[in-house]
């Protein structure tokens, strides 16, 4: 069971599309040839499930998980085609999640149509039942810790690594971890006021306080808050500049923890705020993204129906939509997707590539020299590396993306032909 109390309307929508201008000139990689091989991973059985099955790829794209209906005998979760865990009354669609290290799974089970209580299933083991569980289920970035927010009777609490925290009249997700999972924070409500609970301690009270985020090293904490008609970010306990609204899910620290950026609303316009400095005004603003070296900031903005990528304050070419912003490991290149009418294009170094029906998940090679993404054309899916396509595949899974194993080698979880079965497609780049 899920709820949305204390939520803040978001103006930040990360759109499914791709492209990349460079921050500095560099030698363009030579044209490549691709050789592909497929390794069978799992036979996909969905049993008597109705509708499109929810099949989720692990972050490393070497595993998959999906529910299976057992024809009147409940359902079970399968991982790589094998039943994992107990037979259950039901499955809350969309709650399945993998840990970032691809070693653990969790989902919410129960029988919502019968008003039954629900429980989280972690690594195939059903946890304690609650009256409601608030999405999302959250693993720490290193995959070592797990938490969620649950309702017991009339009160709400956080469950971290199976241990229940203090009870409150209301809570709001998502739960935030630092990189090592040593610190935990979430939003709670008591006596009509909201506050952030960090490391088990209640913080200052506001009319609204949501969206906590830790710096990667766990030393800093930021969140969005509201008092009266004013909204503002709170950084290290200090109120920042006031606005008409703050996009709580957009708050992000730079990798070195020295910078904070977020989306803020003034009137009907949204602008990116980085270290207190405002960017241009837009009708819609995406979540800001820092480069790995923390020196650059990118986001997309839409104004008058046209979208553009904004890199360090400078606007790029205009498109109908822009999204999927991603920096290269060396921080010198930026990828984002662009929509032109009904088509998607990949823009490489400012030059638009071929048009596709869909394009997503841009990923740079470890040496930052090559870019791979997934494209769709006439109901067939291909992996594209520096503009060169692999042979077509029958489909993908939720979470399918190119994963680089070396500067000249990558893989992704794909479907072959019309079957749902999972294959690991290995791509070798040949100069």
The answer to whether 278 and 271 are in contact (CB under 8 A) is yes
- Higher-pLDDT residue of 167 and 351 is 167
Q: Residues of 224-240 as b/e, b for ≥16 C-beta within 10 angstroms? A: bbbeeeebbbbbeeeeb
Its pTM stands at: 0.90
Residues 40-49: what's their mean pLDDT?
Answer: 81
Question: How confident is residue 17, by pLDDT bands cut at 50, 70 and 90?
Answer: very low
Q: What's residue 114's pLDDT?
A: 57
In tens, the pLDDT along 312-334 reads 999 999 999 999 999 999 999 99
% of the chain residues with pLDDT over 70: 89
Q: In angstroms, rounded to a whole number, what is the distance separating the alpha carbons of residues 39 and 77?
A: 22
Burial environment of residue 133 by CB neighbours within 10 A (0 to 12, 13 to 18, 19 or more): buried
What is the band of 90 on the pLDDT scale with cuts at 50, 70, 90?
A: confident
Distance CA 402, CA 78 (A): 23
Q: How many whole angstroms from its chain centre is CA 383?
A: 21
Burial class (CB in 10 A: 0-12, 13-18, 19+), 35: exposed
238: Cβ contacts below 8 Å, ≥ 6 apart = none
- The larger pLDDT score, comparing residue 136 to residue 4, is at 136
Give the DSSP per-residue string, 135-155: EEEEE-TTSS-EEEEEEETTE
**Contact (Cβ atoms closer than 8 angstroms) between residue 173 and residue 135:** yes
pLDDT at 29: 55
Q: Is the pLDDT of residue 172 over 80?
A: yes
Q: Which of 8-22, 85-99, 267-281 is the most confident on average?
A: 267-281
Mean pLDDT of the chain: 89
């Amino acid at each position: 069971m899920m709820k949305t109390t204390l939520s803040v309307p978001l103006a930040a929508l990360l759109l499914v599309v791709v492209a990349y201008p460079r921050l500095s000139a560099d030698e363009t990689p030579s044209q490549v040839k691709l050789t592909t091989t497929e390794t069978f991973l799992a036979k996909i059985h969905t049993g008597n499930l109705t509708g499109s099955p929810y099949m989720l790829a692990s972050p490393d794209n070497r595993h998959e998980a999906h529910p299976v209906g057992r024809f009147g005998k409940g359902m079970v979760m399968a991982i790589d085609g094998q039943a994992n865990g107990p037979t259950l009354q039901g499955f809350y669609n969309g709650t399945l999640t993998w840990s970032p290290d691809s070693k653990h799974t969790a989902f919410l089970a129960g029988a919502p149509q019968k008003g039954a209580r629900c429980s989280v299933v972690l690594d195939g083991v059903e946890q304690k039942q609650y009256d409601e569980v608030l999405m999302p289920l959250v693993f720490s970035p290193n995959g070592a810790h797990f938490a969620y927010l649950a309702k017991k009777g009339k009160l709400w609490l956080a469950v971290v690594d199976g241990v229940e925290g203090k009870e409150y009249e209301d809570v709001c997700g998502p739960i935030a971890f630092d990189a090592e999972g040593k610190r935990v924070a979430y939003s709670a409500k008591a006596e009509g006021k909201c506050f952030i609970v960090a490391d088990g301690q209640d913080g200052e009270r506001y009319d609204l306080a949501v969206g906590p985020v830790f710096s990667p090293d766990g030393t800093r904490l930021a969140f969005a808050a509201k008092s009266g008609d004013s909204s503002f970010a709170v950084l290290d306990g200090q109120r920042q500049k006031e606005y008409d609204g703050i996009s709580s899910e957009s708050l992000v620290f730079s990798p070195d923890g020295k910078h904070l950026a977020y989306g803020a609303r003034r009137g009907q316009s949204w602008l990116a705020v980085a270290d207190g400095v405002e960017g241009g005004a837009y009708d819609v603003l995406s979540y800001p993204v820092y480069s790995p070296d923390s020196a650059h900031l990118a986001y997309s903005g839409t104004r008058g129906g046209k979208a553009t990528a904004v890199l360090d304050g400078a606007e790029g070419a205009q498109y109908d939509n822009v999204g999927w912003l991603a920096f290269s490991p060396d921080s010198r290149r930026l990828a984002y997707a662009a929509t032109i009418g009904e088509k998607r294009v990949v823009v490489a170094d400012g030059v638009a590539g071929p048009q596709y029906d869909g394009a997503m998940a841009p990923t740079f090679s470890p040496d930052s020299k090559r870019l791979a993404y997934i494209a769709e054309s006439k109901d067939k899916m291909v992996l594209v590396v520096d503009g060169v396509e692999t042979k077509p595949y029958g489909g993908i899974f939720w979470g399918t993306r190119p994963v680089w194993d070396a500067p000249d080698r990558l893989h992704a979880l794909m479907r072959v032909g019309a079957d749902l079965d999972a294959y690991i497609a290995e791509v070798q780049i040949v100069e």
